[in-house]
C-alpha cells in the first residue's frame, strides 16, 4: 500500500532539477521527462521512481512470462526497461553479436518512492513502510542547489571521449548493398539497419551527460535510468506503446529531416519531408506493421490510424510520426499487449521476423537496451513506454560508453543519404560526449 501526498513547490522547473539531483544517491532510478511536449496522450509532465523494494532482472529466456508473473504478483507501480533482444523470447531468434555494455535483457523494480509531476503539482506516492521519510526527503530535495551540482562534478567531466565506429563508412555501404539485395529479392520490404559508435576505457558523469543531452534535444520522452552501475541517458522523441484503460496508442516514427536556424529554410525542409515519397512509404509500411501487431489483442474493428505521416518538429530534427490506436478487452493482460507488439515496428522492418533475422546477420553489435523500451506499469495495469533511440548507454564498471543510430532501408534508399541521416541522428550524442 502507498501513502499519497500532494506537494506544490514554488518553481516546478527548479524542483525537477533538485529531484533528479537528489535521486543520484539510489541504485535504482527511472526519470521520465516530457520537456513540456504535452499532448492528449500525456499522463504526466515528468515522473521519478527510486529505490527498489522488489525487483526482477533476467535474460530473455521466458522473459515475458517472468515479467507477467512479476507484474501480476506485485500489483503496484513497476518501472524498468525491455531490451531489443527480448525478440528472442517473442520469436525463434537469437542474438550473437558483440555486446560491450552487458545490460540484463529485462530489468524492472517496484520503487519505494514515486514523484508524479503534472502542471505545478507533484503527487508523491511512498510505500507505507517508508512514508515517515517523506518530510525529511522534501527538506533535502529543496536544499539542493547548483553548487551541489558543481561539487558532483569531477575531473572525468573534462576527459576527452574518443569515439570509435563499429562499422566504418565503406563497410556500411557494403552492408547496405546486401540489405538492398534482400529487398530486391523480395525477402523483405524494409528493415531498420543500425550501427554503433563507442568509447572504451572512458569515464563520464552520467547526470551531467544526461543534462547536456536533454538541453540540446528537449525530447518528449527523455529518460535518465540507473540500474546499479549501468546507465541509460536518452533523448527519445518516440512513444512505443501506451495503455490507458482499454485504449492502446502506438506512435511510430519513420522519416527524419534536419532543422535550420533560418526560418524559411526550416519550413522548406519540413515541407520536403512531408512530401518525400520515400519517407512516406517507409512510414506507411511500418504503420501497416503496427496495425497488424495491435490487431493480435484488439477488439474486432477497433484498430484505427488517427494520424498518418504527420510532421512534428524537435530542437534537432523534424520527424514524421503516425498514431495508431486500438481497444482491448478488460481481461487482456498488459504484458500480452507488449509481447505481441515487441520489438516495435519502427526499429525492425517488414515482414518483421525476416527483417530481424537479416538485421542480426548484418549488424555488428548486439542492440541490447538500444531500440528496446523504457517505461512503467501502474497498479491498474496501465502502461507507457518509449522507444530507446537518440540515447547514450554507459557501463560504469566496464568504462564502456555507446550510442547507436539507424535508419529504415527500402528499395528507394540511397546509401550515401542513409549514412548522412545516421550522422544527423548521432549529432547530439557526439556533441555531448566530445564537448
Domain that holds residue 364: 2-434
Per-residue pLDDT tens over the stretch 266-315: 999 999 999 999 899 999 999 999 999 999 999 999 999 999 999 999 98
Q: How many CB atoms lie within 10 A of CB 431?
A: 13
Among candidate residues 254, 352, 366, 425, the one labeled active-site is 254
From the list 301, 307, 371, the residue with the least C-alpha distance to 342 is 371
Catalytic residue list contains 254: yes
pLDDT, tens digit, 9 for 90 and up, residues 212-231: 999 999 999 999 999 999 99
Q: What Cα–Cα distance (Å) separates residue 267 from each residue in 217, 310, 353, 424, 427? A: 19, 14, 38, 18, 21
154 pLDDT above the threshold of 70? no
Q: How far is CA 40 from CA 34, 118, 205, 249, 378, in A?
A: 13, 13, 35, 11, 19
CATH of residue 52's domain is: 3.60.120.10
Please answer whether residues 305 and 290 qualify as being in contact, where contact means their C-beta atoms are separated by less than 8 angstroms: no
- Locus of grid cell 550501427: 195
323 pairs with which residues across the strands? Answer: 307
Say how many domains are in the chain. Answer: 1
Catalytic residue among 190, 196, 238, 360: 238
- Reply yes or no on whether 238 is catalytic: yes
Q: What is the pLDDT of residue 158?
A: 57
Average pLDDT over residues 18-34: 98
- Express each pLDDT in 308-339 by its tens digit: 999 999 988 999 999 999 999 999 999 999 99
Give yes or no for residue 211 having a pLDDT over 70. Answer: yes
**What is the percent of the chain where pLDDT is above 90?**
93
Neighbours of 333 (CB within 10 A): 14
Lowest mean pLDDT among 26-40, 96-110, 354-368: 26-40
Distances (CA, A) of 309 to 8, 247, 250, 280: 39, 21, 13, 7
Ramachandran angles phi, psi of 99, nearest 5°: -135, 100
Q: What are phi and psi of 123, to 5 degrees?
A: -95, 120
Q: Is the pLDDT of residue 2 over 80?
A: yes
Question: Three-state secondary structure along the chain?
Answer: CEEEEEECCCCHHHHHHHHHHHHHHCCEEEEEECCCCCCCCCCCCEEEEEEEEEEEEECCCCHHHHHHHHHHHHCCCEEEEECHHHHHHHCCCCCCCECCCCCCCEEEEEEEEEEEEECCEEEEEEEHHHHHHHHHHHHHHHHCCHHHHHHHCCHHHHCCCCCEECCCHHHHHHHHHHHHHHHHHCCCCEEEEEEEEEECCCCCCHHHHHHHHHHHHCCCEEEEEEECCEEEEEEECCEEEEEECCEEEECCEEEEEECCCCHHHHHHHHHHHHCCHHHHHHHHHHHHHHHHHHHCCECCCCCEEEEEEEEEECCCEEEEEEEEEEEECCCCCHHHHHHCCCCCHHHCEECHHHHHHHHHHHCCECCCCCCCEEEEECCCCCEEEECCCCEEEEECCCCEEEEEEEEEECCCCCHHHHHHHHHHHHHHHHHHHHC
Rounded distance between C-alpha atoms, residue 238 and residue 413, angstroms: 22
pLDDT in tens, 378-412: 999 999 999 999 999 999 999 999 999 999 999 99
pTM here is 0.95
The mean per-residue pLDDT over the stretch 355-361 comes to 98
Q: Is the pLDDT of residue 15 over 50?
A: yes
pLDDT cut 70: percent of the chain above it: 97
Mean pLDDT, rounded, of the chain: 95
Q: Give the burial class of 18: count Cβ atoms within 10 A of its Cβ; 0-12 exposed, 13-18 middle, 19 or more buried.
A: buried
Whether residue 155 is predicted with pLDDT greater than 50 in this model: the reply is no
Find cell 496522450 and name the residue: 41
Beta bridge partners of 209: none
Q: Residue 187, preceding bond cis, omega within 30 degrees?
A: no
What local confidence, expressed as pLDDT, does residue 150 receive? 46
With b meaning 16 or more CB within 10 Å and e meaning fewer, what string describes 218-247? bbbbbbbbbbeebbbbbbbbbbbbbbeeee
- Whether the pLDDT of residue 147 is over 90: the answer is no
Amino acid at each position: 500500500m502507498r501513502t499519497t501526498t500532494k506537494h506544490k513547490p514554488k518553481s516546478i522547473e527548479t524542483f525537477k532539477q533538485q529531484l533528479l539531483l537528489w535521486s543520484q544517491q539510489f541504485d535504482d532510478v527511472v526519470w521520465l521527462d516530457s520537456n513540456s511536449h504535452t499532448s492528449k496522450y500525456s499522463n504526466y509532465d515528468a515522473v521519478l521512481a527510486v529505490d527498489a523494494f522488489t525487483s526482477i532482472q533476467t535474460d530473455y529466456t521466458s522473459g515475458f512470462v517472468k515479467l507477467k508473473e512479476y507484474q501480476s504478483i506485485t500489483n503496484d507501480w513497476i518501472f524498468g526497461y525491455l531490451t531489443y533482444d527480448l525478440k528472442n523470447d517473442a520469436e525463434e531468434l537469437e542474438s550473437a553479436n558483440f555486446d560491450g555494455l552487458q545490460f540484463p535483457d529485462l530489468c524492472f523494480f517496484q520503487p519505494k518512492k514515486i514523484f508524479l509531476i503534472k502542471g505545478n503539482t507533484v503527487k508523491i506516492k511512498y510505500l507505507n513502510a517508508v512514508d515517515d521519510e517523506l518530510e525529511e526527503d522534501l527538506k533535502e530535495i529543496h536544499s539542493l542547489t547548483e553548487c551541489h551540482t558543481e561539487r558532483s562534478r569531477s575531473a572525468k567531466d573534462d576527459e576527452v571521449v574518443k569515439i570509435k565506429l563499429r562499422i566504418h563508412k565503406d563497410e556500411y555501404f557494403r552492408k547496405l548493398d546486401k540489405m538492398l539485395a534482400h529487398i530486391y529479392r523480395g525477402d523483405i520490404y524494409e528493415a531498420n539497419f543500425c550501427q554503433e559508435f563507442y568509447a572504451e576505457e572512458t569515464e563520464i558523469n552520467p547526470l551531467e551527460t544526461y543534462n547536456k543531452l536533454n538541453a540540446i534535444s528537449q525530447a518528449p520522452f527523455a529518460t535518465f535510468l540507473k540500474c546499479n552501475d549501468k546507465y541509460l541517458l536518452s533523448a527519445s522523441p518516440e512513444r512505443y506503446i501506451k495503455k490507458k484503460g482499454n485504449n492502446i496508442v502506438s506512435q511510430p516514427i519513420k522519416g527524419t529531416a534536419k532543422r535550420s536556424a533560418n526560418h524559411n529554410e526550416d519550413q522548406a525542409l519540413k515541407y520536403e519531408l512531408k512530401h518525400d515519397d520515400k519517407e512516406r512509404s517507409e512510414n506507411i509500411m511500418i504503420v501497416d506493421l503496427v496495425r497488424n501487431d495491435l490487431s493480435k489483442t484488439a477488439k474486432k474493428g477497433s484498430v484505427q490510424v488517427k494520424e498518418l505521416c504527420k510532421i512534428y518538429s524537435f530542437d534537432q530534427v523534424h520527424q514524421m510520426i503516425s498514431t495508431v490506436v486500438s481497444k482491448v478487452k478488460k481481461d487482456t493482460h498488459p504484458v500480452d499487449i507488449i509481447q505481441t507488439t515487441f520489438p516495435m515496428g519502427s526499429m525492425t522492418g517488414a515482414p518483421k521476423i525476416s527483417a530481424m533475422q537479416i538485421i542480426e546477420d548484418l549488424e555488428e553489435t548486439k542492440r541490447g537496451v538500444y531500440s528496446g523500451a523504457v517505461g512503467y506499469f501502474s497498479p491498474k495495469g496501465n502502461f507507457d513506454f518509449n522507444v530507446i533511440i537518440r540515447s547514450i548507454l554507459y557501463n560504469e564498471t566496464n568504462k564502456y560508453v555507446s550510442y547507436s543510430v539507424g535508419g529504415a532501408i527500402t528499395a528507394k534508399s540511397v546509401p550515401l543519404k542513409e549514412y548522412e541521416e545516421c550522422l544527423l541522428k548521432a549529432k547530439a550524442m557526439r556533441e555531448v560526449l566530445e564537448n
